[in-house]
Structure 1
Amino acid sequence: MGSKNKLKRFNENETFGNVIQPTREEMTTNFKWKGKWSSFFKNENPITLELGCGKGEYTIDLARKYPDRNFIGIDIKGARFWRGAKTALEEGLNNVAFLRTQIELVEYAFAAQEIDEIWITFPDPQIKYKRTKHRMTNPDFLASYKNILVEGGCVNLKTDSEFMHGYTLGLLQGRGEEILYAHHDVYKNTEAPEEVIGTQTFYEKQYLEKNKAITYIKFRLR
């Protein structure tokens, strides 16, 4: 994507009522929507996050299927989720928002027990050991998720990375977390949840065309 096109999308995001683009300072010093997302959506419906949402494909598709829930896609790359934000406006999906920020700031964005569910879709597996701190299911991230989730709230990890699947599964088992579902090739499991196999990202479709296995874990943090 050219720099001019990126700038155009950034500028257009500023005009979208469903996009929030705070500075890091604004995020870390009393972010205005923390604990007040029900006011943003103007309802008390449960909130689902998609972390590292990319183009927002999962956020948008789930919002279509579950109009009685609110969905927030989070990514630092606003030029990517521009597409999702624009689609939501075009389709009149009032249960969708996009927040441009780093995932490590998630506790600054949401109050304790403000979120009902989290989706992590095709994150960078950060395979090198020195990149462990950036893996989105490392212990520090899990602690942050636990703090913002309601009691009994779930986390979903969908990835094409066998490494990320194995790392996360082993970590969860070692910590004694509640694993609700885990499969290393979810499309070959007839009991796979509909929201997993019924929603696909652009890159996921490409992986499937190449017969690449898609893994999935759903878990609760004790």
Structure 2
Amino acid sequence: MGRNKLQRFKENEENRNVIQAGKPTFETIKGNWNKVQFENDQPIVVELACGRGEFTVGLAREYPAQNFIGVDIKGSRIWKGSTIAIQEGLQNVAFLRTQIQQLSDFFSVEEISELWITFPDPFPRDGDEKRRLTSPKFLEMYKPLLKSSGVIHFKTDNTGLFDYTLELLQSRNDIEILAHTHDFYQSEYKDDHHGIQTRYEKIFSDKGEKIKYLKFKFV
């Protein structure tokens, strides 16, 4: 393991805005994000597979009256967003280092106001469907964690994953699709995101890939 990675792991252990195994809050944060981490009653917005946290931090800059949590298992990635948030004095940002499959261990029923799924692994093989973050298995996990008015945003460059997700959502009677487009940057929704891009989104966009977007809620 490189020296830089070891240093980042050490800083993650020290940074208050990183919640990970070994810290007291890791075992007790469920249901207590507002009280323990943010010390306010602002709505909680969660980004799954946040990577380096560009999107989480970007949203936090734009919406200081909301709290933002990036979730990822890669500590060296989380370190980047955590460090930027600290340098900029953003108190409404935190990062949770865990597998997304364990999300229910860290959030209580109706604790989340919005959920972002940004450029996840598409797992294109049919046998890997259960691993997709928009599969029925994951949707059932998200459902109780969201407030009754809560929404889910989904962005991807992968047409196969997008079409799979759109078809799945349309087949369910407990989901209302609020917006969808196969070309986000030519749509009416692009200004709502304030030009914030993840690292992967920028790579895909620079290659000419069209970004797809979905917004939906449970009913």
TM-score band w.r.t. shorter chain: over 0.9
How do residues 121-200 of structure 1 correspond to structure 2 at under 5 angstroms? 121-176=118-173, 177-189=175-187, 191-196=188-193, 198-200=195-197
Q: What letter matches 1:187 in structure 2? A: Y
Paired residue for 2:61, among 61, 64, 84?
Answer: 64
Quote the Cα distance in structure 2 between the aligned partners of 1:171 and 1:15.
Answer: 42
How many residue pairs were aligned?
215
CA contact (8 A) 1:45 1:69 kept: yes
Q: What letter matches 1:60 in structure 2? A: V
Deviations 1:64-112 (A, max 9, x none): 0000000000000010111000000000000000000000111110000
CA contact (8 A) 1:115 1:153 kept: yes
Deviations 1:110-145 (A, max 9, x none): 000000000011000011112111100111110111
Residue 187 of structure 1 and its aligned partner are, at CA, apart by 0.6
Quote the Cα distance in structure 2 between the aligned partners of 1:43 and 1:54.
Answer: 26
Q: What letter matches 1:17 in structure 2? A: R
Q: What letter matches 1:7 in structure 2? A: L
Deviations 1:26-55 (A, max 9, x none): 96xxx3011111112000000000000000
TM-score (norm 2): 0.94
Residue 193 of structure 1 and its aligned partner are, at CA, apart by 4.4
Q: What letter matches 1:134 in structure 2? A: R
Aligned residue number for residue 214 of structure 1: 211
Residue 208 of structure 1 and its aligned partner are, at CA, apart by 1.6
Quote the Cα distance in structure 1 between the aligned partners of 2:179 and 2:48.
Answer: 19
TM-score (norm 1): 0.93
How do residues 36-47 of structure 1 correspond to structure 2 at under 5 angstroms? 36-39=32-35, 40-47=37-44
Paired residue for 1:110, among 107, 115, 127?
Answer: 107
For the residue of structure 2 that corresponds to 1:187, the secondary structure is helix
Residue 22 of structure 1 and its aligned partner are, at CA, apart by 1.9
Quote the Cα distance in structure 2 between the aligned partners of 1:100 and 1:186.
Answer: 29
Quote the Cα distance in structure 2 between the aligned partners of 1:62 and 1:133.
Answer: 29
CA contact (8 A) 1:154 1:219 kept: yes
Q: What letter matches 2:147 in structure 1? A: V
Unaligned 5+ residue runs, structure 2?
A: none
Unaligned 5+ residue runs, structure 1?
A: none
Deviations 1:165-214 (A, max 9, x none): 1111000001131000000111111x114243621112212222221100
Q: What letter matches 2:213 in structure 1? A: Y
Quote the Cα distance in structure 2 between the aligned partners of 1:88 and 1:6.
Answer: 19
Quote the Cα distance in structure 2 between the aligned partners of 1:7 and 1:167.
Answer: 39
